[in-house]
Amino acid sequence: MQGIRLEPVLLVMWFAGGLLIYNADRIGTDAADEINVSDRVRRDAKFANLRGLLIVSAGLTLTAVPLLIGSLRLTTLVLVGTVTAIGYSVRLPLLSCRIKDVPIVKTLFPPLAITVAIAGMPLLCSEVVLPEKFAPAIGWAAAVLLFNVILCDMRDITGDRITNVRSWPAICGVRNSALTLLGLIGVMLLSCPLPILVNTAVVGYLGITALAFPAASRRQWYYDWLVDGVLFVPVIVVLSS
């Protein structure tokens, strides 16, 4: 979307980063998780032994790849980003709380961190000036990712409020969160760095997913397949380019 040649090694690093952060977030169980996603907590417990192996493997990959390609800038971004992202789920020694415990940051941090990774890493791998499509691509990607996180946090409102987790939906309520989703759809339509038909398909998919929320919000398959179906967006983007 930015008009930058995609380095294949970034695909490996993005995948390793996703494995590392996702599994690090599952090491400990929040009190809110026992209320919001008790079935997922029991399901995740079956993979406890594998989780450590995935974390170590992903961490080694993230460390080794930038060193192998000789990019000091990329190495620095990965190290800082990894520590910061782990601090989202685990309280680091110099911090008074986890990043996810800060009001509203719980909702905003994941899409911000992922946007920095997908937008910043290609720039660090290539000697180019800031692309002309940089701003709309960033705005569009951040809106898609935030849409995904808000839907998940809307599911978790009950447990989050009981355990004093201050996500955006927990503070603002379902109605205002739904209005936020509508605003994000507007951002996607206005920024539109993709071919119009592709952008319309993506926005339409997200809109249908949001409309299904009242009827399917307590169903785990809804999040595994529909809400996280946004993960298929990169495939659509690549195939359309």
User: Domain residues of the chain, as ranges?
Assistant: 8-232
Dihedral (CA of 98, 101, 106, 109) sign: negative
Q: Report the C-alpha gap between 229 and 140 in whole angstroms.
A: 16
Paired tokens of 213: 């929320």
Structure tokens at 100: 């996810």
What are the tokens at 230? 């946004």
pTM of this prediction?
Answer: 0.86
> Which two three-digit tokens encode residue 87?
């601090």
Q: Helices (DSSP H) in the chain: which residue ranges?
A: 8-25, 31-36, 38-45, 48-68, 72-89, 105-125, 134-155, 157-162, 168-191, 196-211, 213-216, 220-221, 233-240
Tell me the Ramachandran region of residue 236: left when phi exceeds 0, alpha when psi lies from -120 to 50, beta otherwise.
alpha
What is d(CA 182, CA 140) in angstroms, rounded to the nearest whole number?
Answer: 14
Spatial neighbors of 234 by CB under 8 A, at least 6 apart, are none
At residue 176's C-alpha, the angle toward residues 167 and 146, to 5°, is 55
Neighbours of 203 (CB within 10 A): 21
Return the pLDDT at 128.
65
One-letter amino acid identity for 227?
V
Q: Mean pLDDT by 10-residue block, N- to C-terminus, for the chain (241 residues)?
A: 74 87 79 83 81 90 86 85 86 86 92 86 73 85 93 92 92 95 94 84 91 91 88 71 65
Q: Can you tell me the distance from the alpha carbon of 4 to that of 58, in angstroms, rounded to the nearest whole number?
A: 25
Six token digits for residue 159: 């447990």
- Cα–Cα distance between 26 and 89 in angstroms, integer? 8
**Whether 227 contacts 151, CB under 8 Å:** yes
